[in-house]
Amino acid sequence: MFCPKCGVEIPDNSVFCPQCGYNIKATSKSVGNVAETVGSSNQIYRPDAITLIAIIDIVFGIFGFLFGILMVLSVPGILTGSYPSYFVEGHMMGPLMTNFMNLMMTVMVYSLLIAGIPMIIAGVGLLGMKSWGRILHVLAWIPGLLMFPVGTLISIFAIWVVYTREANEAFMMASR
Question: Alpha-carbon Rg of the chain, whole angstroms?
Answer: 23
Greatest mean pLDDT range, 19-23, 69-73, 136-140: 136-140
Question: pLDDT, tens digit, for every residue of 120-134?
Answer: 999 999 999 999 999
Mapping DSSP onto H, E and C, the string for 78-130 reads: CCCCCCCHHHCCCCCCCHHHHHHHHHHHHHHHHHHHHHHHHHHHHHHHHHCCC
Distance separating alpha carbons of residues 173 and 176, to the nearest angstrom:
6
Question: pLDDT, tens digit, for every residue of 82-113?
Answer: 666 555 555 556 666 667 777 888 888 888 88
Exposure string (b/e) for 66-93, b if CB count within 10 Å is 16 or more?
eebeebeeeeeebeeeebeeebeeeeee
Cis check: omega of the bond before 149, within 30 degrees of 0: yes
- Calculate helix-pair angle for 48-74, 131-141, nearest 10 degrees: 50
Question: pLDDT, tens digit, for every residue of 26-47?
Answer: 434 444 444 344 344 567 889 9
Share of the chain above pLDDT 70, in %: 80
Beta-carbon contacts of 153 under 8 Å, excluding residues fewer than 6 positions away, are: none
Q: Is residue 147 scored above 80 in pLDDT?
A: yes
Range of lowest pLDDT (10-24, 52-66, 120-134): 10-24
Q: How confident is the model over 57-61, as a mean pLDDT?
A: 96
Q: Is 13 left (phi over 0), alpha (psi -120 to 50) or beta?
A: alpha
pLDDT at 61: 95
Nearest to 126 by CA among 141, 112, 148: 141
Whether the model pTM is above 0.75: no
pLDDT at 93: 62
Nearest to 58 by CA among 153, 152, 142, 158: 158
